[in-house]
Amino acid sequence: MKVYQTNEIKNISLLGSKGSGKTTLAEAMLYECGVIKRRGTIEAKNTVSDYFPVEKEYGYSVFSTVFYAEFLNKKLNVIDCPGADDFVGNAITALNVTDTGVILVDAQYGVEVGTQNIFRTTASLKKPVIFAINQLDGEKADFENTLEQMKEIFGNKIVPIQYPLACGAGFNSMIDVLLMKKYSWGPDGGVPTIEDIPESEMEKANEMHQALVEAAAENDETLMEKFFDQGHLTEDEMREGIRKGLVDRSIFPVFCVSALRDMGVRRMMEFLGNVVPFVNDMPAPVDTAGDPVPPDSNGPLSIYMFKTTVEPHIGEVQYFKVMSGTLTAGADLENVTRGGKERLAQLYCVCGQIKTQVDKLCAGDIGATVKLKDARTGNTLDEKDVDIAFDFIKYPAPKYSRAIRPVTESDAEKLSAILTRMHEEDPTWEIEQSKELKQTILSGQGEFHLRTLKWRVENNDKLPIIFEEPKIPYRETITKAARADYRHKKQSGGAGQFGEVHLIIEPYSEDAPLPDTYKFGNQEYKMSIRDTQEIPLQWGGKLVVHNCIVGGAIDARFIPAIVKGLMDRMEQGPLTGSYARDVRVCIYDGKMHPVDSNEISFRLAARNAFSEAFRNANPKVLEPVYNVEVMVPSDVMGDVMSDLQGRRAIIMGMSSENGFEKISARVPLKEMSSYSTALSSITGGRSSFTMKFASYELVPGDVQEKLLKEYAEKNAED
């Protein structure tokens, strides 16, 4: 295989909503380039992209697939990304290591929520975008309506390169207003017949051609001057203007294709080969030090590991992008992220599971290797004496969580190793061993996301697992001051145990004045603070302890033990066993014995005194509340609102955004457990949402009563 230089390489992401036809388009692209001799289908389970067992089982893409095509003496590296929102991490990864996004839009359904979500990601990463309106041969296809919707949502930067002469079953021809030609296909697609534009279409074609010329000229002053002088541009000048417009995101060209029937695919690939930016046309990526790293084949060698898969008979396959320099097979590199050295004995260019061994890859190229010792997704590998590191991929917060455990407890360690491996393959799977909840919490982007993991663990690794509702990390606090004392006394021959602690607790807040005098009943308690400890709690909030003991009632050496006793109860609150927070404690009196007093005695005395005072301080349970934003089509907004209100949501606002309605709400985490599934059901999969932790809030009285009852029953059983 030819060694392609940086100025001959183009990296492209294939994006779009679920069902928009990306995998089918990938097959057509590979067929047109001669990489495959026969196009596979999803139904036949023989496509290049969806080759993992779980993808064949479910009939949709779960992983992104890297493939390359040698076309027009250039190398196109393409990453075909899953369309389902649950697998958005693949698209985010792909966009970070490629330079152009091709977004498919289904002509039957127009711009969907997933399309908008991925477009927003391209905007945040400042990536060029080309749209391809696919499935123009579909029964409900409507090009004009889809194009109008795109202009409403994405603005006047939408510029058609082509338009079809008919949609639906009759789609077999289109007008290309860049080349000003008519393209027609036979029933089996493939090589088109190229003709002059018929007279009946000339007026429309000229109008759209003029709009395209103006859009191209706007991106270059020289071209603009020539356009004003002559009123037209050559084909090469238009290509140059469009390329600059793509880089600046000032133009979004629109193509017409039927991926299933291989119509318009080769023409779109010609545009990809001739017009879209090369690797070195784009702004240089920035390393962790904030310095740009140009893709220079003669520069220092640095590669970024962006993807890991585990394949039968091979094991781990690591995908990388050569960020700088030229990589040769057998190179010894240093892992600047984790430390250690790696030898890349073999280099491959990849088409799905087909791997072609190569000797060299230049800056900007994408490849794969196998059998690395310790390199992980997100690591940077450099040649000796080079210190470049990258950390530019940011993934969305998880939306759906389940507690996971093996059916057989003895398999816990095996499951942990599997989950760690799967996180390497998809970083949007997050695994937490929760000490607080005493559960292993698996979090992802949705129910389908976790369901695919379960299928893989049970079918590929032969390990039966159970998903359960995760417990909610409640918090406990108090709302008024209370006093208590406790004497711990134990005598069983020899030295005994004795410790007595008197304390007052009250709610803590940052701006509260220092304690002075408390009154309980007819008795006043005056505080004289000798020492203060502020303990920030890992789970949020604080414990503040004032030592107010006078006259040596308790020796100072026992104060740390008392604080430990208080922390015991902060870690396991008296109401529900949840973490407690934001409590201020004044230790003002107590007693000790010259022989029997010891640390354990005062720790137990403090723990019990705190529990009693806590229960008398009008305690409350707090629950985590999240800020939730839901994007919904207007026709189902009422149903979505009703569902949210049934989840104890507080609606914070509503607005319209690019043809969709956005609902902002604050919702308790308890009520979000299966929200992704419910939202998909209500809206037919046409909505999406994000959630982010906001704060802890008091639970309603009936909910608190239920929680206390459940905790009491559980303790009684134990």
What is the C-alpha to C-alpha distance for residues 26 and 84, in angstroms, rounded to an integer? 17
The answer to whether residue 302 scores a pLDDT higher than 80 is yes
Mean pLDDT of 312-319: 87
List the domain boundaries for the chain: 6-281, 302-382, 400-471, 476-618, 621-703
Decide: helix, strand or coil at residue 517.
strand
Do residues 303 and 323 lie in contact, with contact meaning Cβ atoms separated by under 8 Å?
yes
What per-residue confidence (pLDDT) applies to 658? Answer: 67
302-382 CATH choice from 3.40.640.10, 3.40.50.620, 2.40.30.10, 1.10.3720.10: 2.40.30.10
493 has a pLDDT exceeding 70: no
Q: Which residue has the tokens 């356009």?
A: 227
What does the block give as tokens for 409? 């407890």
Say what the pLDDT of residue 260 is.
93
pLDDT at 140 over 70: yes
Give the closest residue to 212 by CA, choosing from 162, 159, 175, 151. Answer: 159
Q: How far apart are CA 445 and CA 89, in angstroms?
A: 9
Confidence (pLDDT) at 718: 60
- In this structure, which topology does domain 6-281 adopt according to CATH? Rossmann fold (3.40.50)
pLDDT digits (tens, 9 = 90+) for 280-295: 999 999 999 999 999 9
pLDDT value at 230 more than 90 = no
DSSP 339-383: -SEEEE--EEEEETTEEEEESEEETT-EEEEE--SS--TT-EEE-
Better-predicted residue by pLDDT, 425 or 151 = 151
Pairing of strands 100-106, 9-16: parallel
* pLDDT mean over 353-381: 94
Residue 234 tokens, joined = 């050559």
pLDDT level of residue 697 (50, 70, 90 thresholds): very high
In CATH terms, the fold of domain 621-703 is Alpha-Beta Plaits (3.30.70)
Query: Do 119 and 157 form a contact (C-beta atoms < 8 A)?
Result: no
Strand partners, 667: 626
Give dist(CA 555, CA 547) in Å, integer.
Answer: 11
* Whether the domain at 302-382 and the domain at 621-703 fall into the same CATH topology: no
pLDDT class for 717, splitting at 50, 70, 90? confident
Residue 554 has pLDDT above 90, yes or no: yes
Q: Is the pLDDT of residue 481 over 70?
A: yes
Whether 621 has a pLDDT exceeding 70, the answer reads yes
Considering only the C-alpha atoms of the chain, give the largest distance between any 2 of them, rounded to a whole number of Å: 113
- In 3-state terms, what secondary structure has residue 601? helix
Q: pLDDT (tens digit, 9 = 90+) per residue, 565-575?
A: 999 999 999 89
Mean pLDDT for the stretch of residues 455-476: 94
Strand order through the sheet with 439-444: 430-434, 439-444, 400-406, 465-468
Closest CA to 505 of 579, 602, 592, 611: 611
Q: Once rounded to an integer, what is the mean pLDDT over residues 57-84? A: 90
Buried b (16+ CB within 10 A) or exposed e, 79-115: bbbbbbbbbbbbbbbbbbbbbbbbbbbbbbbbbbbbb
What mean pLDDT do residues 362-372 have? 96
Q: Per-residue pLDDT tens for 161-181?
A: 999 999 999 999 999 999 999
Residue carrying the six token digits 């074609």: 205
pLDDT tens track for 24-39: 999 999 999 888 888 8
For 213-229, write each residue's pLDDT tens digit: 888 888 777 777 776 77
pLDDT reading at 193 higher than 80? yes
Contact 310, 460 (CB under 8 A): no
The mean pLDDT of 674-680, rounded to a whole number, is 89
Average pLDDT across the chain, whole number? 92
C-alpha angle 571-576-582 in degrees, rounded to nearest 5:
50
State the DSSP code for 717.
H
Side chain identity at 612, as an amino acid letter? E
Burial 594-606 (b: 16+ CB within 10 A, else e): eebbbeebbbbbb
pLDDT on residue 216: 85
Least confident of 62-71, 219-228, 249-258, 551-560: 219-228
User: In CATH, which of 3.90.1580.10, 3.60.10.10, 3.30.70.870, 3.40.50.300 is domain 400-471?
Assistant: 3.30.70.870
Q: Of the candidates 383, 298, 292, which has an alpha carbon nearest to the alpha carbon of residue 335? A: 383
CATH architecture, domain 476-618: 2-Layer Sandwich (3.30)
Using DSSP's 3-state secondary structure scheme, residue 100 falls into strand
Nearest CA-CA partner of 573 in 501, 477, 439: 477
Contact (CB, 8 A) for 5 and 297: yes
Buried b (16+ CB within 10 A) or exposed e, 123-144: eeeebbbbbbbbbbbbeebbbe
Q: Whole-model pTM?
A: 0.84
Spatial CA neighbour of 59 closest among 47, 72, 71: 47
Split at pLDDT 50, 70, 90, the class of 635 is confident
